[in-house]
Amino acid sequence: MLDLATLPALPRAERVQALDDWLAGLLDDALAGTPRASRRRGGPPAEPAGAGIALVAVGSLGRRELPPHGDLDLVLVHDGRGEIAAVADALWYPIWDAGVRLDHSVRTVAEAVSVAADDVKAGLGLLDARHVAGDPEVTAGLRTATLGSWRQHAGRLLPQLRDIRRERSRLVGELGFLLEPDLKEAYGGLREGQVLRALAAAQLADEPPADAGEAYDFLLDVRDALRRSTGRAGDALVRQEQAAVAQALGLADDDVLLRRVSLAGRRLAFVADETWRRVDASLVRRPRARYRRVRREPLAEGLVRQGDEVVLARDARPAADPGLVLRGAAAAARADLLLSPYTLKVLAVHAPALPEPWPAEVRWSFLRLLASGRSAVPVVEQLDQEGLLARMLPEWDRVRSLPQRHPWHRFTVDRHLVEAAAAASELTRDVDRPDLLLVGALLHDIGKGWPGDHSVVGEPIAAEVATRMGFSPPDVATLAAMVRHHLLLPATATRRDIDDHATIDRVAETIGRDTALLELLHALAQADGAATSSSAWSPWKAHLVAALVARVRAHLVAAPAPGPVLEPTTPQVSSSGPGPAGEGGRISVGVRDVADGQQVTFLAPDRPGLFSRCAGVLALNQLDVRAASISVEGGQATSVFAVRPRFGRAPVPEILADGVRAALEGTLPLADRLRQREIDYRQHGDRAAPPRISWHDSEVDGAAASIVEVRAGDRAGLLYRLTSALADQGLDVTSARIETLGADALDSFYVCDPAGATMDAGRRRRVEEALVSAAGGPAPGPAAPAAPTTAGGPGVKRDTPPG
């Protein structure tokens, strides 16, 4: 009797054997209850009950890979005899009664082959057919007929299979670059291993190499551990299960697990890509010719183009030519081709180590490769998969398939660096030293392979690599500075007020007042952002970084500074009302389009809490704030917000003006409405990580001013909550920079005390407690009304002396 409770805990081979034995017993019982008809007088003797009937396993059970809690895929194959329906009922019902999920069919050999000839998925499954019980000759006949049909119809079925895998790749993604990969269906997953065997069975490709088989077996082990951990079927390696799976497999932690999964997936994807290229070429019908000459076109010394690949020339001498690898890679990328697999193998075996420093010709080939842009990415992957890249850059092994846990990163560290170099190739005309830009892009995150701040750690590593490449000492220093400061411009532009002179001075001093380095860092920031994701490099972020660069450049060359980033918009509508405490007042709103969104300007009489109420009304109207600036003159406050509609609906000035007026009057319960909005549109759930507060007094002018940064889980109305908390603590918000990083928000506020006093440690602690409470707790109520001060209420930026 099969013990289903202990079945998932068994090793894979024992689990399959236990199921085979159970199923064989079930078939024997089913056949015993349906004896064959007695022989007729004078006829042949009756055949055994099991003759002409076989139970065949397909799918994962057929491959002896059935995971815990997996479905049984079974086919009852018969020779067309009438009692098969009774046998099937007697076989299937005990399986269902045992609570095992079953995918079943009853077919003759001819029926099974007919289905497989028309349905590529059915054909793929029948290639794994394995005899479990009954008449083995029936199973052998099924396998022979299926294999023959698969080969006969390969020209029609394989393009369908290729298109199915490409569509799944588009929908599910590539296993090697996903933070929560689908181990089966993601491209490079278990399905790729099965497809590779199917291509070999069609005699259009060789059997997968041994390392691809090892990668496949590892993914099987990961899936088994995942299903044991969760106690249910499922192939998605989600974040919360990764630590348990790593422990079950004896790995150090979940990052090690994810890295090994990435390596396995990339290897299977690479082999699959190479195999499909061969298959596609073999399926193309060419006119027959008795003698067909293969055209060979010279590309570079020792290299020729042959068909759609780059191969070695007849006079090439790989063992005596250190520059051949990079020369071949550059030639392939420039021609938008790939190196042939045989050429890669020859180079991997015979290519000598590069001299140190690299000769100028080798460095030039490397730069030509990087300058090829998108076509360089698959060529670099070829070098990586054959171990050639790590020979030239030993530091590469530390970042190879290294996961990046932030959800806005599309790639592992190594692939991100290659993508950044490809993006940088489109910006080489914007800088005086395109060679430094390309290499800097390739190395900017190299420090992530070591503990510590990757920018700081990466600086000496990049210097060492650049020295080995043969760059001059000044160029080595520039490349090291690019790695050290590659986050300077985007971090400053999105978290600091770039109209503040202190911000510009700090950037200029950091880069050593070097305009050439400034241009390289600008191009590197663009390439880095483009290689990360659209969220990491939005049009608004690009606009801010460009504005910062323009201000720093003007500062360095003593030119006039550009105008403010947030220019007030001419009001379009106004809303009047009695106002709080019987005060009259008119609120005017103007809206205009800016980069990746709109700019909203509020004109209203200055009063405490104005900034937070404007922020709350924007949040209530599904508008995400990215930056804000407040000024007051003659008792009139001008609040400018850069916003982006969350659901594509542009801001309506009339609705915003009425909302702010109602919020100031107290007739619009902002706190309650935002709390309900958060319940209705909760996206990320409760976050365990507490908010983090940090102060940056040294980055602003004036002892009474401070910058306070808040890192917290993003939620509806977060800006309203935080600014209300600051107002309750008696602080003015003069400007703000808002950045959303996936599920997290990083908000920076320029704050000061209205009386000009500095904050002691006790008051700072109270502010931190208020911000933590606001970021993690329910929405606060409106700030208590207070008499206006001559310096303006909370949310006022003093661009001019108070009137």
pLDDT at 315: 93
Last residue within a domain, chosen from 121, 152, 183: 152
pLDDT at 576: 63
Helix (H, G, I), strand (E, B) or coil at 745: strand
Tens digit of each residue's pLDDT (9 = 90 or more) over 516-542: 999 999 999 999 999 998 778 889 899
Q: Does residue 518 sit in the same domain as residue 654? A: no
- Per-residue pLDDT for 7 more than 70? yes
Q: Does residue 675 sit in the same domain as residue 714? A: yes
Q: Does residue 478 sit in the same domain as residue 591? A: no
pLDDT at 84: 92
The token duo for 590 is 């103007």
How many residues comprise the chain? 803
DSSP 429: G
pLDDT at 1: 64
In a domain, 772, yes or no: yes
> How many domains does the structure of the chain reveal?
4
| pTM for this predicted structure | 0.87
In a domain, 423, yes or no: yes
Work out the pLDDT band at 125, boundaries 50, 70, 90. Answer: confident
Last residue within a domain, chosen from 281, 300, 318: 281
Give me the DSSP letters along 567-630.
PPPPP-EEEEE--GGG--EEEEEEEEEETTEEEEEEEEE--TTHHHHHHHHHHHTTEEEEEEEE
Helix (H, G, I), strand (E, B) or coil at 88: helix
pLDDT at 292: 58
Q: Does residue 751 sit in the same domain as residue 637? A: yes
Last residue within a domain, chosen from 507, 538, 565: 565
| Residue of higher predicted confidence among 312 and 37 | 312
In a domain, 364, yes or no: no
Count of other CB atoms within 10 angstroms of residue 241:
18
Tens digit of each residue's pLDDT (9 = 90 or more) over 578-593: 444 334 468 999 999 9
Q: Does residue 450 sit in the same domain as residue 559? A: yes
Q: Tokens 């990049």 identify what position?
A: 462
- Per-residue pLDDT for 20 more than 90? yes
pLDDT at 66: 95
In a domain, 319, yes or no: no
Q: Does residue 106 sit in the same domain as residue 162? A: no
- Per-residue pLDDT for 703 more than 70? no
Tens digit of each residue's pLDDT (9 = 90 or more) over 368-417: 999 999 999 999 999 999 999 999 999 999 999 999 988 788 999 999 99
Residue 136's closest CA among 55, 63, 202, 60? 55
Q: Does residue 558 sit in the same domain as residue 577? A: no
Tens digit of each residue's pLDDT (9 = 90 or more) over 417-459: 999 999 999 999 999 999 999 999 999 999 999 999 999 999 9
Q: Does residue 608 sit in the same domain as residue 710? A: yes
Portion of the chain with pLDDT greater than 90, in percent:
69
The token duo for 350 is 């015979």
Q: What is the 3-state secondary structure (H, E, C) of 368-391?
A: HHHCCHHHHHHHHHHHHHCCHHHH
Q: Does residue 550 sit in the same domain as residue 589? A: no
Domain interval for residue 424: 412-565
In a domain, 591, yes or no: yes
DSSP 105: E
In a domain, 486, yes or no: yes
- Per-residue pLDDT for 744 more than 70? yes
271: domain CATH number is: 1.20.120.330
- Per-residue pLDDT for 308 more than 60? yes
Tens digit of each residue's pLDDT (9 = 90 or more) over 192-237: 999 999 999 888 888 999 999 999 999 999 999 999 999 999 999 9
Count of other CB atoms within 10 angstroms of residue 764:
17
Q: Does residue 664 sit in the same domain as residue 553? A: no
CA atoms 496, 499, 501, 505: torsion sign: positive
In a domain, 273, yes or no: yes
The token duo for 142 is 């099924």
pLDDT at 569: 83
Q: Does residue 87 sit in the same domain as residue 129? A: yes
| Residue of higher predicted confidence among 761 and 244 | 244
pLDDT at 44: 52
581: domain CATH number is: 3.30.70.260
Please give the mean pLDDT across all residues of the chain: 88
- Per-residue pLDDT for 575 more than 90? no
113: domain CATH number is: 3.30.460.10
pLDDT at 294: 66
Work out the pLDDT band at 742, boundaries 50, 70, 90. Answer: low
In a domain, 450, yes or no: yes
Q: Does residue 641 sit in the same domain as residue 769? A: yes
